[in-house]
Chains A and B, each alone.
Chain A
C-alpha cells in the first residue's frame, strides 16, 4: 500500500534536488565582482527608501491569506466527498449536504465581497 507513494517521494526528492542544484550551480559558475550599487535592491529604477523589514506592507495581505485558508479548508472537504459520489445510495444525500455546506460559506464570501475585502485599493 505504501509502494505507490514511492513515486511521490522520488518526485519530491528530485524537485528538491533540482532546486538546490540550480542555485548551487549558478553560485559556482557566476562571475563575482560586487560593488555597492550592484548590491542595492532593484525597485523599478527608483532609489530604495528605508528598510524592507520594517513592516511597511499593507494589512490587506493578511486578510487575503485568512480568506485563502478558509476557502482552502472548504475545498479540502470536497476530496472525501468526491470519492463517495459514485455510491448510488448515498450520493443524493451527501450532494445536498455539501450544497448546504458551500451555501453557508458562500454567505461569508458575499460578506467579504460586499465589505470590499477583495478590493485592492
Chain B
C-alpha cells in the first residue's frame, strides 16, 4: 500500500520536474516546481520524517517559491526568452542524463543507496520533531548558533547590495 503511494508521488514528482524544464513560460515552470516540492514533501512523510516534510512546505513552497516568482517578475523577459531553445547541448545533455540514470539504477540495485533510520526505532520516529530538537539544541548547539550568524550575513548582504544600487539611482 505504501509502495503504491510512493510510486504515485514519485511519478508525479518526475512528471512535474520534467514540465518545469520544458514549459516555455517561466511563471508556469515556477508553479510546476511547487507541484514537485509538494510531491517531495509527501515522499518525506513516507520516509518517516514529517519534520522535513514540514520544512519542505514551509521554506521551499512558501518562501523560496515567492522569491522565484518575484525574481521572474523583476527580470526582463520579453517574448524572445520564452522561445529560447537548447542550442547545441541537447545531445550531450541527453547522453549525460542517460549515463546518470544508469549509474543511479546500478547503485540502487546494488544496494549502495540505502536510508536506514540508524539507532532510532519506530517509536522515536513518531516523535521525529522532538528527536531532532533534542539533538539540535544540545549536541549541535554551536552549529545552531552559527546558523543565526549565517542568516544575519545573508540578510545584511542582500540589503547592502540592493540599497547600494538604489542610492546610485537616486544619485543620477
Binding site for B on A (CB under 8 A): 1-2, 5, 8-9, 12, 51, 53-55, 57-70, 72-74, 76-77, 79-81, 83-84, 90, 93-94, 97-98, 100-101, 104-105, 107-108, 111-112, 115-117
B152 touches A107 (CB 8 A): yes
Question: Which among A62, A80, A117 is the interface contact of B67 at CB below 8 angstroms?
Answer: A62
Q: A63-B162, A68-B63, A73-B151 given as contacts; is B50 within 8 A of A84 (CB)?
A: no
- Is chain B's binding surface mostly helix, strand, loop or mixed? helix
Q: How far is the CA of A97 from the CA of B140 in the complex (A)?
A: 12
Q: How far is the CA of A121 from the CA of B170 in the complex (A)?
A: 13
Residues of A within 8 A of B46 (CB): 2
Total residues of chain B contacting the partner, CB 8 A: 55
B88 to chain A, nearest CB (A): 27
Question: Which among A57, A60, A80, A97 is the interface contact of B132 at CB below 8 angstroms?
Answer: A80
A108 touches B71 (CB 8 A): no
B48 touches A111 (CB 8 A): no
B156 touches A111 (CB 8 A): yes
Question: Which among B42, B152, B162 is the interface contact of A108 at CB below 8 angstroms?
Answer: B152
Question: Which among A55, A69, A74, A94 is the interface contact of B137 at CB below 8 angstroms?
Answer: A94
A70 touches B151 (CB 8 A): yes
Q: How far is the CA of A20 from the CA of B126 in the complex (A)?
A: 34
Q: A94-B137, A104-B145 given as contacts; is B129 within 8 A of A83 (CB)?
A: yes
A97 touches B45 (CB 8 A): no
Report the nearest A residue to B138, measured CB to CB. A90
Residues of A within 8 A of B84 (CB): none
Q: How far is the CA of A53 from the CA of B79 in the complex (A)?
A: 8
B70 touches A62 (CB 8 A): yes
Q: How far is the CA of A8 from the CA of B75 in the complex (A)?
A: 36
Q: How far is the CA of A84 from the CA of B134 in the complex (A)?
A: 7
Residues of A within 8 A of B130 (CB): 80, 83-84
Q: A72-B59, A72-B63 given as contacts; is B133 within 8 A of A80 (CB)?
A: yes
Question: Which among B48, B63, B147, B156 is the interface contact of A65 at CB below 8 angstroms?
Answer: B63
Report the nearest B residue to A60, measured CB to CB. B162
B75 touches A55 (CB 8 A): yes
Residues of B within 8 A of A84 (CB): 130, 133-134, 137
A57 touches B63 (CB 8 A): no
A69 touches B63 (CB 8 A): yes
- 12 new A-B contacts, CB < 8 A, other than A2-B2, A62-B67, A67-B155, are A1-B125, A51-B78, A58-B74, A59-B74, A63-B162, A68-B63, A80-B132, A100-B148, A104-B148, A105-B148, A107-B152, A112-B155
